[in-house]
Structure 1
């Protein structure tokens, strides 16, 4: 595949986004001495958020901003045009404000969100990101490039020991977990991580489940793995989060289930579980079901779920278009339970968001990383994956708890969040352990000092 001229295409993209921004960054770069740099390549979470990955990616940036001295951060996002349905002006403005306060340098790579959807597009993005990294990190006294998630697992194929920076790959999932039929893409990921490891790169595991998965399926050796558990940034100051009004039918009590509109999230199992509860005469609150995508119209999977909901005559509200404001429903006093019916889950961010919001109880399957946050009878209630009857039994238990039991679940969830999933503490530990030079405020080029 022939790639466009990188430097000119990036400059055009940045200039179209904000022409004054490019000039300001050029002037700033000429005026400042070379500094230690951390470069972060990301595809979701800069211009908007289309899934839990977007929330996690921006939380990663926020944690770095809190940990690093000003001027250390280089962000390489995949450019998303304003006309793209996933572009969120408010989210973008907040991201840019966070990075402006950190005196971060931003160099978007062209191509848009569509490139991440197919193998050749991901390969092209990896080549462009490596070009940017080599151009902007060449004179840094110390530097590291971090590739966030699946589209950048191919960076290892372009990386070699002569590059003037270290490399960290942080997969939030893998194609083998989400789309095991895509063997060519799985093999591309495997080759990318193998190449990265041979050149001395590190691979991050966001959960114990992902660590075992990366070793077993992708052959990542233990020596190359580093623990960077996913989490939230409870200490990060932020503006008022977006809110979405609660649908009127849910205001007297509701169950909440939300996530990407893909089969691995198990929403069909949830609908069958509700049908089973209704059939036996159990009282089930209004179901607020949000299997979302960034599309303007429902996809085939969403239409199938909606048809099932109608066929089973389930009392519920069905939402298809993603919005960060849906997280505000976790704080509603009308919430009776949060349901996470996943069939496969590398980590599972929603339980942590529920714990942070004080939402309880959480009902989740014992799929992948969910077992590390939702412990039966301790922080929530659990069920077997892909087993609607087991899920129905767990939901019944959750709906029968007392006010005291609900408060205990809240307390234990918040304790787990603080002990294991404080993202700022996790990122600081990684920086201190593996690249301590990044946190040194005096780490600049010796000739320039």
Structure 2
């Protein structure tokens, strides 16, 4: 149990964490992987290379130190982390390994400033957080196994269909190899898929949004091929799916997780997607249509051009078939596009539509795309009068955006 005096010691490290937090977390990961190299099979080594994981962890440690008196205010953030953890099969014992290296890293970075009382305070603070996280994740695991077709850990799935959706995006239809049912999920959630990467000599998990409504039979993920000459380890996973995983192959899959999900209301809804960020929103829109929802739905999507626009015909058909659905598409270049309403040249610009079209007192907004895309449109919506609590967003990868 952490004492009041120990909380004060933890709070006293806030200036250090603000200034040198990333230095601390970089040292922590380096130390942990040196002593426990098996954990490289659990952590996303792509985010280690680009330092997104180190930056995200530094932000989380800082937020915890700042809110050590009332850690419950961090539960929305902790839930997102917990959802990611259960998708990676993180267990309570893993917290002891991580905690040992984090506490050692604090001592090694602070050196003479790391008094015994300070290290004891951080030990108490860390294990308070570990207990909160372990209990929350246990409840999430229990919910998984209580579902029909639910499971925890990794389960083999067969790729029964592999469908090209655009020049860059291919869909993979995943069926359980045991022939059993698959657990329902909330539209917007993701799966973890695990592959062995020969170039790294490691198993590597990656999260992919489920791009179809719940059906009890299969999951679909829609994956973008990375075109860089030397792709990051993230690109290695996606590109391996494209180039080496074929129909009939097996892949390891974890149960659906994530808290970027469609709210069960009757409010008008606006989907705003950039590139492959449309995948969780596809599941949301399809679920609304399958359920006969009368909610007014507007879809605004941006990408480079029609050749990379996956699901463009699906979106067009939904808008034609349903009076309560409309869609607007932004392409960087309209060359080769026949004259058509609701197509625009340039970057997505919400202000183009005017306040009255996008914002009513109860409108909900769901944004998914690159971090800069999310941040821009989040701020634009606030400026147009949207309520902060009505804007939901999903940032692929470690959580680094601090918008609400």
Alignment TM-score, normalising by the size of structure 1: 0.27
Alignment TM-score, normalising by the size of structure 2: 0.29
